[in-house]
Amino acid sequence: MHGILHTSTIDAIAPELTATAGSLLLQPGFASTPLRQILIALVAAAIVIVVGRIVLAIAWKLVTIAAIVVALLLLLSTSGIV
């Protein structure tokens, strides 16, 4: 992977982000100011981005494999083998 963080690093960071976000939200009156609400939104967005990166890292490999399989089947059917 050519991203900034390797998958193992992302896997190590994701639970920490979730735990931090969860503990902050449990504090009484934490989201009482606009800046704190923005912080909660940014932490939530960071979690979505980290999880999205992991999912996309798997998805592009599956799409590549599917494209190769379909191209091979097209070539075989065009040549009359299948």
SS3 content of the chain, % helix, strand, coil (to 5): 85, 0, 15
Asked if residue 26 has pLDDT above 90, the reply is no
Q: What is the pTM of this model?
A: 0.48
> Which tens digit of pLDDT belongs to each residue from 50-81?
999 999 999 999 999 999 999 999 999 999 88
User: How many residues in the chain?
Assistant: 82
Residue 21 confidence (pLDDT) = 57
Amino acid in position 64 = T
- C-alpha 18/C-alpha 41 separation (Å) is 13
Contact of 11 with 30, CB cutoff 8 Å: no
Residue 46 confidence (pLDDT) = 96
Residue 81 confidence (pLDDT) = 85
